[in-house]
Each structure stands twice: as C-alpha cells, then as structure tokens.
C-alpha cells in the first residue's frame, strides 16, 4: 500500500516537474525570439528607461518641474537648461521627465481597467452565445460607432477634468476592442475536445472559462494590451492638448504641447521636445508589441 502511494507521488511530482519545465522552456523561447527581433529589443529597452524615469523622476530632475522664473522664460536649449525653458521659465527637461509618470500611469491603468472589463464581457458573450452574446456585442458596436477620441471628449465633458477622469474615459472607449478579441478567441476554442472533457468531469462554467479557455487564448490579448498602451498614451496627450486632461501646473506632455503651441515660431523647442517624447514612447510600445506578437505566435516562431 505504501509503495503504491510512493509511486503515485513520484508520478505526480514528475508530472509537475514536466509542466514547470515546459512552461520555463516556453518563456525561454519567447525571450529568445524577442532578443532576435532588434526592433522589439530596442522598444523594450526604451520602455525600461521610461519606467525608471517615472520611478526616479523627482530624484534626477535638475529643477522643480512646476516652478519657474519669468525672467528665464522662453530660453533656448543651453548647458543650464538642456531642453530650454517654457513661457513661465520652467525647465522643459524636468517637466518631460515628470510627465513620464503621468503618461505611463494613465496608459497602463486605463488598459488594465479596459482589459479586465473586456475579458469579462467578451468571455460571457463568447461562451454563452445567444441573446447574451447579441446584447453585449450590440452595446460594443454602439461604442465603436463613435470615434474613440470624440467619445472620450464627451465622457470628459460629463465627468469633468482631471487625470482620474481621463483614465475612466479612455478605459470606457477601449473596452470593446478587448471584448471582441476575447469573444472571437473563445468562439474558436470553446467546442474543442479538452473543453468538452472539462464539462463532462463537472467543471463549472467559471472554471472552464478562466482555467481552461483564457490561458490558451491569452497571446492575442496580451499583444493587443501592449499596443493599447501606446494608443492610451496618445489619447491622454490629445485630451491634455485640448485642456481636458491633467490640469496645470502638473506636467503632462499633451498639455505642454497645448500651452506651448502659441510660441512655436518664437521658441519651437517648447513643443518639439514634448512631441519627441510622445513619439518615442508610442513607438517603443508599438515595436515591443509587434515583437511580442511574433514571439507568442507559434506559426511565426516556426
């Protein structure tokens, strides 16, 4: 009897070890594919640098980003102010560094919120189908019928200005993208043999969705979420440019563009450097997202 128990334990342990090794090999293969993709590697390095700037911002900023001297306004880039100063004499480099945490916070938080809601709604619609699917998808279609930025502006007008309101507005307008991806992924696998086997042995619908279906369709969701961060950052900058996002004197790249556009011909550096920061950040997430898609796609790996 004891020998049988020991044998079962050994078999169980071997099975656990095999699964761990398989999962580790998958992560190692994905990392190898990303390293082979130079563009994705560059994007990942830039993202890491941006995260460090967001974390260490106030430590490495040469000046207070929200305090300036009018006597030093509109100064061109120099050894004292590498990116020059704005119309209120504030150091642009310090404000760009300080604005990094705002853009990343809004982008990551908005995508996380939209992804959570989208996974739940897409899973319900794709798994149960019928009237539930029709109702959920028609609501998503109504949201998609409006331009995302225009709808975000409408929500901001209703909710008010501020970073928290911007996160909510951007999240709501991007929920349909994730819901549709999750729904289509679930429809493609929900009639598979392993799903039917899970039903036969008595797994609940919740367990089937979150333990058996979603882990096997997570790749396109992760890729879209990575690319979605760049879109959220662009929307944040657009709302800030229109004066609906982060309010002064808080530094945010879009609001820096909005406040400096009147000085473009006299002091172009006021809008050039924030614009470059937005471009590099969006490009980094797009490059990394494309590389992540290639690494997670079995067909492309082969």
Please indicate, yes or no, if residue 177 is contained in any of the structural domains. Answer: yes
CB atoms within 10 A of CB 81: 21
Enumerate residues 6+ apart whose C-beta is below 8 A from 148: 173, 174, 231, 235
Instruction: Report the alpha-carbon distance of residue 112 to residue 106 in Å, rounded.
Output: 10
Over the stretch 148-198, which tens digit does the pLDDT of each residue have? 888 888 888 888 888 888 888 899 999 998 999 888 888 887 777 777 777
Question: What is the domain range of residue 256?
Answer: 11-63+94-301
Please indicate, yes or no, if residue 77 is contained in any of the structural domains. Answer: no
Please indicate, yes or no, if residue 74 is contained in any of the structural domains. Answer: no
Q: Is the pLDDT of residue 281 over 90?
A: yes
Find the radius of gyration of the CA atoms of the chain: 24
Please indicate, yes or no, if residue 83 is contained in any of the structural domains. Answer: no
Residue 252 DSSP class = -
Please indicate, yes or no, if residue 52 is contained in any of the structural domains. Answer: yes
Over the stretch 111-133, which tens digit does the pLDDT of each residue have? 999 999 999 998 888 888 888 88
For residue 173, give the nearest of 153, 198, 201, 188 by alpha carbon: 153
C-beta of residue 167 within 8 angstroms of C-beta of residue 107: no
Q: HSE-up of 227 (CA within 13 Å, CB side)?
A: 15
Question: Residue 112 is part of a domain; what is its CATH number?
Answer: 1.10.3720.10
pTM of the model: 0.82
Please indicate, yes or no, if residue 72 is contained in any of the structural domains. Answer: no
Domain count, the chain: 1
Instruction: Report the alpha-carbon distance of residue 51 to residue 153 in Å, rounded.
Output: 28
Please indicate, yes or no, if residue 6 is contained in any of the structural domains. Answer: no
Q: Is the pLDDT of residue 82 over 70?
A: yes
CB atoms within 10 A of CB 147: 10
For 115, list phi and psi in degrees, rounded to 5. -65, -40
Please indicate, yes or no, if residue 56 is contained in any of the structural domains. Answer: yes
Q: Is the pLDDT of residue 10 over 60?
A: no
């Amino acid at each position: 009897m004891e020998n049988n128990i020991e044998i079962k334990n050994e078999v169980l342990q071997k099975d656990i070890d095999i699964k761990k090794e398989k999962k580790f090999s998958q992560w190692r293969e994905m990392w190898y594919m990303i390293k082979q993709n130079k563009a994705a590697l560059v994007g990942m390095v830039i993202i890491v640098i941006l995260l460090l700037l967001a974390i260490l911002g106030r430590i490495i900023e040469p000046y207070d980003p929200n305090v300036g001297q009018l006597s030093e306004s509109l100064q061109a880039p120099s050894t004292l102010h590498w990116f020059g100063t704005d119309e209120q004499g504030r150091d642009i480099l310090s404000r760009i560094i300080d604005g990094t945490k705002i853009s990343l916070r809004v982008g990551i938080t908005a995508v996380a919120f939209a992804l959570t809601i989208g996974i739940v709604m897409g899973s319900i619609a794709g798994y149960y189908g019928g009237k539930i699917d029709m109702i959920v998808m028609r609501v998503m279609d109504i949201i998609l019928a409006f331009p995302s930025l225009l709808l975000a502006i409408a929500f901001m007008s209703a909710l008010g200005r501020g970073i928290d309101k911007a996160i909510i507005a951007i999240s709501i307008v991007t929920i349909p993208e994730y819901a549709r991806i999750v729904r289509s992924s679930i429809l493609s696998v929900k009639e598979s043999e392993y799903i039917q086997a899970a039903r036969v042995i008595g797994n609940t619908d919740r367990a089937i969705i979150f333990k058996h279906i979603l882990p096997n369709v997570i790749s396109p969701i992760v890729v879209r979420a990575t690319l979605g961060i760049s879109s959220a950052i662009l929307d944040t900058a657009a709302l800030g440019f229109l004066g609906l996002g982060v309010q002064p004197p808080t530094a945010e790249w879009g609001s820096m563009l909005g406040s400096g556009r009147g000085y473009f011909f006299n002091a172009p550096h006021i809008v050039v450097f924030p614009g470059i920061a937005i471009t590099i950040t969006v490009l980094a997430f797009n490059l990394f997202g494309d590389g992540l898609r290639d690494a997670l796609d079995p067909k492309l790996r082969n």
